[in-house]
Structure 1
Amino acid sequence: MYTATPRRKVIARARATASAAAAVAAGLMLPLAGTGNAAPPPVVAPSAKVPSSVKTISSGWTIPWGATWLPDGSALINERDSVEVYKVSQTGTKTKVAAQPLIASPNSGETLLGIAVSPNWLQDHYIYLYHGAKEGNRIARMTYDGSTLTGYKTLVSGIKRGLHNGGRIKFGPDGFLYATTGDAGIPGESQDKQSLNGKILRLTTDGKPAPGNPFGTLVYSYGHRNPEGLTWDAQGRLWETEIGEDTWDELNLVEPGKNYGWPTCEGECTTAGMSNPARQWHPAQGVPGGLTYTDGALYIAALKGQRLWRVPVDGTTTGTPVAYFTNGYGRLRDVVKVPGKSALWITTDKAGRAADRVLQVDLT
């Protein structure tokens, strides 16, 4: 979460920056950590595709927060505050999913965040949820029979709930569930390896610490503030987007056991033992939401920046980012690759009551 005063200070500082930062202030590129504002030559795969067009797939949403794909090619998309889940076909047909028992909502927002389909779907029909319950955030599991979610079971509890909740959950190529957690507005939680807040967690399908976790607990990496995007590239490397405080938001290449700095560092720093971001940028250019990978590039949905960033990657190197659809569709919350198509789905955020949409971006 951000207050208006710190953001205005950030924008004022950006305007006062020397001409090397002009491209950043104009929203043309993200500065590369470690090199000031200079960007390396573009890294573009020979078969790379780029966004070419956008259309509305589904309308009538109110803060659709997470999206995940079923084996039949349809998506499950949840609304954050209404705690509703819908099945959406690739042609846009939208069907409400009943939930028994209904997932209770507390009195504040950010209730139902991430959603993920089990990698063993054909055997178990499990759906995983990041749920903001009254007593705190939790990771839960339910069974989906094609029309109804039943059998709510808490797998992980004890995640503090507050201003920064993280909330993205995705299964990695190793079959384990990864979850981002925010610092809940208590910065010290991020550096406490015994706390579940300010972390990326890695767990089994039953909610236990995954084998090989660096500390023998659920914690995979720490020192995060409010991470909301997770994805893996073609080589299985984990990337993460993170909302900073006043000055820098981040794109991180995540490795097990690494410390990503918060609250000692926001963006790049020289503190021993802390990992610098692969990219960092001012909030005015794109407070990051969801993240996905396809065709040699990372795609970042921007909230405040209201644009889609394409960041080419080659190994651990990121090339020059390019922004698409700047300020054309409002805040962008999540972005996912559409199975079987050269396309992305993007959910919009806080356009107004029932005014949000699911967009399709074609890649050519």
Structure 2
Amino acid sequence: MNRRRYLGATAGVVAGLTGCLDALDAPGDDSDGDGGDDGSPSVTAGDQRVVAETVAAGLEVPWGVAYRDGVLHLTERPGRVVRVADGRRQVVADLADSTAAEGEGGLLGLAFHPDDPDAATAYQTYDDGGLTNRIIALDAADGWSFEPLFDGIPGAPIHDGGRLLVRDGSLYATTGDAADEATAQDVDSLGGKVLRLTLDGEPHPDNPFGGAVFTYGHRNPQGLALLGGELYSTEHGPDTDDEINRLEAGGNYGWPEATGPSDSPEFVDPLASYTPTIAPGGAVVYPEDGAIEAWRGDLLFGTLVGQHLHRSRIRGDEVTEDERLFEGTFGRLRTTFIGADGHLHVVTSNRDGRGDPREGDDRIVRVRPE
């Protein structure tokens, strides 16, 4: 389908061995914007006042987010899986020795099996004589042991993708072009793609090219979200045209031949593209019954270069509203997710080597009505 149908300070290091518990601070942050009653930054959403409050701090480049039996788990890019509950952080799996946390690589996406809370998958960069990415299976019931589930994804210090999402018994993974642009147009390569696997790590039998590739022509997609039964991605462009894409099996999203909208029927156009670039991170759709009425059903994602929370309203085949929220307040924002309490949460990425860490970084911020 033609793409034009779809418009468009210094942080204290909180370290610990597996099994150690570390207290997490939860300071308010009133560094920018109007403050709520407790001094937390706030914005207006429709006729509601919305505040952003720090609920956990002292994390180190949190990346992937998932819930196990209602308890929040995150990956930290240096190679740890941490459990966050009741204001405390527990390292449950330390994979630093097997993780190559170089540049943008490391321990990235995280997802749990929908029917087995002891089974998780994570996206990991490792060094096997050269940087490579793989998806690993973790067994929480066996001391968080792990083994490779799907291997051979190109790796590099930049453009490693890394987002995981489970949907309808399938595991989706985003991969970057690993600084080799040509791989994105090669359906026999795993670079610059969105992959679809079975939960056992095999290429999904319904994939369009007979392997693991679901879509191709991507530069560095870092967000996956479901809206109305459709799968969407956020993607980093070069110096122009970051994108929101609706993913369709077999679709060619253009990179490196096209960025942003294209006149070629060969490529699927983005719903929206952003120049100057904002570097969109992980995305989530705000619940239809969420507490912030004006955001219901909207796509929300953090931005790294843009340093704001971004809201996009998707209606039919176009983005009808775009809004930047809490701009500059928390620095680089990586991953958004809906918490167990139903509120939007976002994690910072100020300790990733490209940010300006503040006291308490990295942190989890909850966004809720005042």
Scaled by the length of structure 1, the TM-score of the pair is 0.80
Backbone CA RMSD of aligned residues: 2.5
The whole-number CA distance in structure 2 between the counterparts of 1:217 and 1:48 is: 46
- Runs (4+) off by over 4 Å: 32-37, 47-51
Preserved contact between residue 314 and residue 321 of structure 2 (Cα < 8 Å): no
Trace 1:23-62 onto structure 2 (pairs within 5 A): 52-62=50-60
Deviations 1:22-79 (A, max 9, x none): xxxxxxxxxx978999xxxxxxxxx9998811101110112111111123x2111111
Question: Is 1:360 the equivalent of 2:366?
Answer: yes
Question: Is 1:256 the equivalent of 2:272?
Answer: no
**How many matched pairs?**
312
Preserved contact between residue 66 and residue 114 of structure 1 (Cα < 8 Å): yes
Tell me by how many angstroms 1:272 deviates: 2.7
Tell me by how many angstroms 1:323 deviates: 1.1
Preserved contact between residue 234 and residue 282 of structure 2 (Cα < 8 Å): yes
Partner of 1:344: 344
Trace 1:11-160 onto structure 2 (pairs within 5 A): 52-71=50-69, 73-81=70-78, 83-89=79-85, 91-99=86-94, 103-106=97-100, 108-109=102-103, 110-122=105-117, 125-135=118-128, 136-145=132-141, 148-150=143-145, 152-160=146-154
The whole-number CA distance in structure 1 between the counterparts of 2:76 and 2:253 is: 30
**Pairing partner for 1:209 from 183, 200, 203:** 203
Deviations 1:291-312 (A, max 9, x none): 0012210001110100011111
Partner of 2:213: 219
SS of equivalent to 1:62: coil
Q: 1:203 to 1:292 in 2, by over 3 A?
A: same
Trace 1:242-253 onto structure 2 (pairs within 5 A): 242-253=235-246
Scaled by the length of structure 2, the TM-score of the pair is 0.79
Q: 1:118 to 1:272 in 2, by over 3 A?
A: same
Q: 1:355 to 1:258 in 2, by over 3 A?
A: same
Tell me by how many angstroms 1:156 deviates: 1.2
Preserved contact between residue 253 and residue 316 of structure 1 (Cα < 8 Å): no
Q: 1:266 to 1:327 in 2, by over 3 A?
A: same
Deviations 1:76-124 (A, max 9, x none): 111112x1111112x432211134x7651337242111111111225xx
Q: 1:363 to 1:225 in 2, by over 3 A?
A: farther
Preserved contact between residue 137 and residue 147 of structure 2 (Cα < 8 Å): yes
The whole-number CA distance in structure 1 between the counterparts of 2:91 and 2:281 is: 24
Q: 1:279 to 1:96 in 2, by over 3 A?
A: same
Q: 1:339 to 1:157 in 2, by over 3 A?
A: same
**Percent identity at matched positions?**
35
Tell me by how many angstroms 1:276 deviates: 0.7
The whole-number CA distance in structure 2 between the counterparts of 1:255 and 1:187 is: 21
Tell me by how many angstroms 1:363 deviates: 5.0
Question: Is 1:296 the equivalent of 2:291?
Answer: no
The whole-number CA distance in structure 2 between the counterparts of 1:92 and 1:271 is: 51
Preserved contact between residue 347 and residue 358 of structure 1 (Cα < 8 Å): yes
Partner of 1:329: 330
In structure 2, stretches of 5+ residues that fail to align are 9-44, 287-295, 351-355
Preserved contact between residue 210 and residue 218 of structure 1 (Cα < 8 Å): yes
Deviations 1:299-344 (A, max 9, x none): 0111010001111123443221111101100000100111342x11
Partner of 1:166: 161
Amino acid across the alignment from 2:363: R
Q: 1:257 to 1:322 in 2, by over 3 A?
A: same
The whole-number CA distance in structure 2 between the counterparts of 1:245 and 1:262 is: 10
SS of equivalent to 1:188: helix
